[in-house]
A and B are shown apart, each in its own frame.
Chain A
């Protein structure tokens, strides 16, 4: 029977020849990810249910990347880091990346890729909804809660319903004014925040496969914003080149059969698309940037798992070079590796960090920072009735801190162009 890539990965992890959409199966988990917000309660449940001296099913397969509330004076947040450290120590977890040491990485979804945990064909569960990001590597990744994560910690297994798949095909050549963010915001505007609930979102087409890994991760990252169980892009030579540089572990490449069944198929011609944003207060509230171009902004924010990768800052620097921002512009590299690259990677012969600083941006240390608001002293947190243009992934009420603020989701090109003018601005204004 013809199968989608997601079905093939499920079948492998369930030790079955094939699986049907809608069927509940028990999966053997290859990697379990957790962080400082959901790790401590997960470990509590694990100890309560399996016993205080229970051991995790496979220490090599547990990855603990604190990233949410790192640079804060909040004592409860510090206690959560202490609890992670204690558990990692008790269980001898080799893949714990402690805060305040040179092992600290930053935002978990980007660090998973950079540290070689994303392997085609594998099954990843994580206590974070954006675990779907890793699907850019032709693997299955999805978010779960603490109870399910505790169950996996003890057994290495979890039940999941095999999703139906939706296919999104982008054909054509990406112009310099469009980013992956524009493509996913386009989809969200078309299908809504529950348009893919319980389904796999498979991305395909020449434009998708022309993207570097970091941009592919922007697409899969926001599958959850449509309610998707996972986002997935089959591995190709670009994926293999990235993976081989960062891991020696074996992997398996799966591809959808040409006659596999889909819930629905959406086709886009790149030439028909233009820069878009999601206006407050929902990621599906799409508007072309041109149609809202006079909207005043009070801040610009470039960061997070979806918008704080090196490729995002390369795009932003292309706009910001030689310009000055007119509103506070906060830069949060996702990981330490991204932060270091800002110092070494050049745009027009100048380090990216220098371009950003010369333009008047403030660069912070890597973490989730204000993407989800966080404790009151979090860098970049929205205040009062701020209107923030942001490369993050969610803009529900109160998401970046203040309940009165509005957040407008945009590509790094649009966020940078808007930072210069102080109002929502189509990046084509700067790319002529």
Chain B
């Protein structure tokens, strides 16, 4: 709602400085978005909340300003015009959708010229001048909040119906656009045709223009429920629908039609018919509230007399009955329905800054959400490992998903913001690749990035953790730096799992977007919880990217807390042995270690790989692996003989299982 201060003060007996007015409007909940000094006036632009439909009018705003300043509202009275035009109309209304309908035929005797003061008001409100007939309806609407509509009376029939159509209907609106409307649209119709979409816009078939000599002026109250959403469904909002959706004063129709009548008489010199009227009795809203309830919700001690004075200033009728105040709501406050609304009115007029503040002593009793804890812990681990956190949009390009061969069950958005953000991400990988590309193209040479976020498929959603590692060797400095091999990333993933007390297993696997020879699925016990590997060379080529290593882990599959008991280390010295085996290069180290452990007895504490060798001196199909084995007993020092026995068992065992040979 945009207006000039001078227009507003037609209704206020008293004066307020510009600064105070702007401050007060915002503090009343009528937020000043912009204001501008212009000549001797002040242009004010309000950003109104949907509940204050009453303030889409100068009178409505004036009411609030008067209430907070204890000033009197000046409402001019408009007399009915002399009704000497003998024309007939009948009106029927759908009482559920329309509570009040007034119409008057006005014969326009002269060509009208819109005076400057009306032009100024319309311009302030960003409503352009259309033609003198329509300009008057808009002017009255800006003052009263009542949308009026003028039909060319010669283009419509004798019977006016406010009704829902019985079938789908095609129509052309005033803005020239054609629409097909369903039975949900309330219409104004005559005997033959729809002449307006009630509360939204008139139809082209009854439009007024320069040649119009007689108008049928409508001033009606349509229920918000019959208007809401309909304009939006057609793809626009009109000044009328804006107001009807929010609720228009049920008692202002006559005032508005007489206000307009006076202007038509002044500007056109009109002859007027009687006012044709149909209405139903509307219920006056009543609310009972006690001082105790007000104080209990605001934490205040406000005297009842102050409350009553304040509500009366807002045009509530107040009757005191024992401890209760019986309030009758003013008809223009469509938004007031319950006790809490009254509390807001009181707080608003007193001013929130003038209300007390009290420290809350309540403590919560419910347990933490471990999912958030897990996310925080994961972030800490990766940041400490030198990773930079990124945050990507949750929607990605479906063609990228397809190219990466990621889950095909991604969920499509019905109304994506752009075609390259059309599906919910089934993985964090596409986002990380985008981040890589963006930064790589801007000269970044080192990458350790990670993200934690939800991913989505048609079957389920889960919280995912993913990261990417890249290091451009040529950017290495004198100290060397991190590398970007599979094993460099694996080391970090192991670090992550060890912080969570999890021992993961890496099994070679085929994952669409990863290099089939340099990738693994990560398993916890028997459950696959993620993957790690080098980006598939074919994808790399298509995206023109260098070698990068990636991982992704399903965080939801890890349950916190995982608590291990801490065991006291044995006091007796242990024995260490190094063993080298020749074995087929196909055998995964992890399988080999498993078998060494099986045959190594209960006191075998650790097996580590200290060397892997393939090449000169060894058959091409073979590799040499050197293990360091460590035994230690809890009750006594192990004797060499005992350890020798374990070693012999192991050598025999792996010879049988893997055909492994001990290297001398």
Q: Do A and B bind each other?
A: no
Chain A: residues with CB nearer than 8 A to chain B?
none
